Amino acid sequence: MLLTLPSVGFLSLALVQSTLAVPQPDRRTIANATSTSLTPSSSATASYNETVALASVLADVVAGAATGDPTCSDCDNILLILKEAAILGDDVFIDLFTKVCIDAGSASAAECTGLEALEGPSMAYAVRNMVIPSRTAKIFCNTVLGICPLPSVEPYQVPFPKPKPSPSADPVLSCDSTPLQIVHISDIHVDHSYVPGSNYNCANSICCHVLTPSDAPNVTQYHAGPFGNTNCDSPVDLEESLYAAIQELVPDAAFTLFTGDLVEGNVWLTTPQEVINDMNDVKSKMSGLDLVYSAVGNHDSGVVNLFPQSDLPANITSASQYIYDTLSSDWESWIGTKAAAQVTKNFGSYSVVHPDSNLRIISVNTQFWTKENFWLYTPTMSRDPSGQLAWLVSELQSAEDAGQRAYIIGHMPMGRTDALWDYSDYYDQIIQRYSATIASQFFGHTHHDQWSISYPDYLNQTASSATAVSYITSALTPTSGNPTFRVYTVDPDTYEVLDYTVYFANYTLPGYQSKPTWSKYYSVKETYGAALDPPYTDPSAPLTPEFWHNVAQMFIKDDTQFNNYYARRTRGLNVTSCTGSCKAQEICQMMSSQSQYNCVNGAVNAPNATTLYKRDGDDQAKLNEDDECHHSYIGMKVGQTIAADLGAFAKKVAAVLGDSFTNREIKRSVQI
């Protein structure tokens, strides 16, 4: 699409093209020299405002590409260009992003076109209203474009109604009572469009659909089996096999925890009505599990990741109300009328006391804290989107006052890189304050068999200071490994986790496509507890934060134990090697429940991780976090494509939007 707009008349596409052809001086050297001469005794940054044509901004982007890795200033220039495109309208912005996506091969043409149309309006809204430069702009530059270090956490003390009580004796464990069994499932990603026999070797990130004639079962040579394929999300037959296995292997389960993501991964095709249908169908099939406590996943939306917060215009916020209304209706038979009403009014979050117990289940919508939710990037980002942190504090305070223990369930683990640093810090403040009340936290999202530990001081991690554990279960979908579920053995009085066992269906067995066989994969105490010195295998002893700290220390010292753990992440399927920086990163994330300390994407490196390998002096090295959910974030893939080749981006802007766009004048702030 070529725009026809009033032209300023003195700058054109030719300037951008000529800039691309001529080697540029190192602007960083010039800027540093200028800054030194102007302010030789000051470290403060000076700036001035200027009026400039977009062609000059594009030329500066190209010059930045010629000098090495892009800087925050380069990113500000990119954002100025994107902002002008967004000001011209969502269609202009979406058209530009779609063409960049397709040309770069970030995804298939169908995925680029479909998901940019869905995600584009939220990204355009964020950029159109963004102040450049600003703290929000820096965060967006890092999380979406992969340019510019994240700013430090904005200092904020979460307010608490009461101070933390003095430490009391540890909860008294049961001596004679039979332990409870609690099932944990997550990321089932049921694909109701899955066609057995269809093409599993397609151009898209998720296959096993008939989207073209060549995908049909009678045409393709790549036939998907009835119980799934590693290039495809879960067919309904696999979903039903999971529920049948739980009923057979854990017939006396007290309840099931489902930590979200029931919608399939072909997110470029989802519609609100399809999401509603998927939710209702999963609820119907899951009813055989008797009692289920659920949480909202990032895929459980008509547009993946997008959950607008309450301080946005009403027409934006109300667009997601159908999600909460549907989940409220579906969950009411499990959680009761009062909690179901909370789901409707509280953006999917709710709290309920488990019947005949002193256990409070608190389900939080973690999507208000994730970097992929583009609605969060307001000019001044909210400290507490939709009041979810304050609500969590109130529920935990109620539990503490009533002498209850609490389980927190959510989708995204709060120490992962998906969690924005500020919100991860504020959430962890809450965990530290109510650590005596919180018995455990349960998450999914990563599709891997993992856990993470909370500490009051991540730069001084000790066994005695470890305060909490987040249990992160793996997925049903075969895209990330063998299908699986967890079963926790729990003390019936304290609700402490005593052990857990992972069950799986081995995808590689010859009879899998006839009927998956579900069996025990491993248990924590048999596998990790027995390997500790001294062994930790007493069936009545809880899996304390100290226990998990000691397991992590064992992994640091013992490559064999770590490699076995790493194979279990994917339940023994598609196992890859993990040494050096990979091992350091994995253990660092295991020992961090704050994203600013997880060693990924500029996060601080905890001492336990930096002892594993040397980073050649670069303690801000960017390590790639392995997260199966990232395959669907087309907007972020395009952002990283832009950052990887700024020259190509400048050419694409000029080619798609034309001289009438590049000649537009804007005001920008220039730092010197």
Q: pLDDT digit string (tens) for 224-238?
A: 999 999 999 999 999
Token pair 């700013």 is found at 151
At 170, is the pLDDT very low, low, confident or very high (cuts 50, 70, 90)?
low
Token pair 């018995």 is found at 439
pLDDT score at 414: 98
326-374 per-position pLDDT tens digit: 999 999 999 999 999 999 999 999 999 999 999 999 999 999 999 999 9
489-522 per-position pLDDT tens digit: 999 999 999 999 999 999 999 999 999 999 999 9
Strand partners, 472: 443, 450
Strand partners, 443: 472
CB 483 within 8 A of CB 161: no
Q: How far apart are the first and last CA of the chain?
A: 37
pLDDT of 86 over the 80 cut: yes
Torsion on CA atoms 416, 418, 424, 425, rounded to nearest 10 = 80
CB 572 within 8 A of CB 505: no
pLDDT score at 43: 41
Paired tokens of 164: 């933390």
pLDDT score at 361: 99
pLDDT score at 528: 98
3-state SS assignment for residue 503: strand
Using CA atoms, how far apart are residues 87 and 240, in angstroms rounded to an integer?
A: 48
Of 439, 455, 441, residue with least CA distance to 399: 439
What does the domain layout of the chain look like in residue ranges?
13-149+632-671, 180-194+233-597
pLDDT of 20 over the 80 cut: no
Q: What is the mean pLDDT of the chain?
A: 88
Backbone angles phi, psi at 293, to 5 degrees: -105, 120
Strand partners, 26: none
For the annotated binding site, the residues are 187, 189, 261, 298, 411, 445, 447
At 610, is the pLDDT very low, low, confident or very high (cuts 50, 70, 90)?
very low
Which positions ≥6 away from 625 have C-beta within 8 Å?
Answer: 416, 417, 585, 589, 598, 600, 601
For the annotated binding site for Zn(2+), the residues are 187, 189, 261, 298, 411, 445, 447
Of 290, 288, 276, residue with least CA distance to 330: 276
Task: Decide the pairing of beta strands 255-258 and 180-185.
Answer: parallel
pLDDT score at 591: 96
pLDDT score at 133: 95
Using CA atoms, how far apart are residues 16 and 56, in angstroms rounded to an integer?
A: 8
Lowest mean pLDDT among 18-22, 392-396, 467-471, 605-609: 18-22
Using CA atoms, how far apart are residues 518 and 520, in angstroms rounded to an integer?
A: 7
- Between 269 and 160, whose confidence is greater? 160
Sign of CA dihedral 458, 461, 463, 464: negative
Highest mean pLDDT among 68-77, 485-494, 601-610: 485-494
Of 495, 290, 498, 467, residue with least CA distance to 407: 495
Taking CA atoms, 144 is separated from 63, 147, 397, in Å, by 21, 8, 36
CB 504 within 8 A of CB 571: yes
pTM higher than 0.85: yes
Backbone angles phi, psi at 258, to 5 degrees: -120, 110
Paired tokens of 53: 């044509």
Paired tokens of 220: 């393709």
Which positions ≥6 away from 28 have C-beta within 8 Å?
Answer: 67, 71
pLDDT score at 628: 52
3-state SS assignment for residue 211: coil
Strand partners, 666: 52
At 244, is the pLDDT very low, low, confident or very high (cuts 50, 70, 90)?
very high
Of 479, 446, 517, residue with least CA distance to 191: 479
The pLDDT of 309-325, averaged and rounded, is 96
Sign of CA dihedral 261, 262, 268, 271: negative
Using CA atoms, how far apart are residues 140 and 257, in angstroms rounded to an integer?
A: 33
The pLDDT of 289-302, averaged and rounded, is 96
At 24, is the pLDDT very low, low, confident or very high (cuts 50, 70, 90)?
very low
Backbone angles phi, psi at 561, to 5 degrees: -60, -40
The pLDDT of 619-648, averaged and rounded, is 59
- Topology of domain 180-194+233-597 in CATH is Purple Acid Phosphatase; chain A, domain 2 (3.60.21)
CB 635 within 8 A of CB 374: yes
533-561 per-position pLDDT tens digit: 999 999 999 999 999 999 999 999 999 99
Using CA atoms, how far apart are residues 420 and 638, in angstroms rounded to an integer?
A: 20
Using CA atoms, how far apart are residues 75 and 380, in angstroms rounded to an integer?
A: 18
pLDDT of 36 over the 60 cut: no
Q: If phi over 0 gives left and psi between -120 and 50 gives alpha, with beta otherwise, what is residue 305?
A: left
pLDDT of 26 over the 60 cut: no
Using CA atoms, how far apart are residues 294 and 256, in angstroms rounded to an integer?
A: 8
pLDDT score at 11: 34
pLDDT score at 601: 61
3-state SS assignment for residue 532: coil
Lowest mean pLDDT among 59-63, 171-175, 561-565: 171-175
Sign of CA dihedral 563, 569, 572, 578: negative
- Between 639 and 334, whose confidence is greater? 334
The pLDDT of 305-327, averaged and rounded, is 97
Of 585, 598, 529, 591, residue with least CA distance to 561: 529
Paired tokens of 274: 């399809």
- Between 203 and 626, whose confidence is greater? 203
Sign of CA dihedral 580, 415, 259, 366: negative
3-state SS assignment for residue 25: coil
How many C-beta atoms lie closer than 10 Å to residue 146's C-beta? Answer: 18
pLDDT of 668 over the 90 cut: no
pLDDT of 37 over the 50 cut: no
Of 505, 522, 494, 475, residue with least CA distance to 259: 475
Task: Decide the pairing of beta strands 405-409 and 665-671.
Answer: unpaired
pLDDT of 40 over the 50 cut: no
pLDDT of 15 over the 60 cut: no
Type of residue at 487: V
pLDDT score at 173: 62
Using CA atoms, how far apart are residues 54 and 11, in angstroms rounded to an integer?
A: 9
Highest mean pLDDT among 112-116, 344-348, 573-577, 580-584: 344-348
Of 416, 383, 413, residue with least CA distance to 595: 416
Which positions ≥6 away from 318 have C-beta within 8 Å?
Answer: none
pLDDT score at 650: 86
Paired tokens of 490: 């729990």
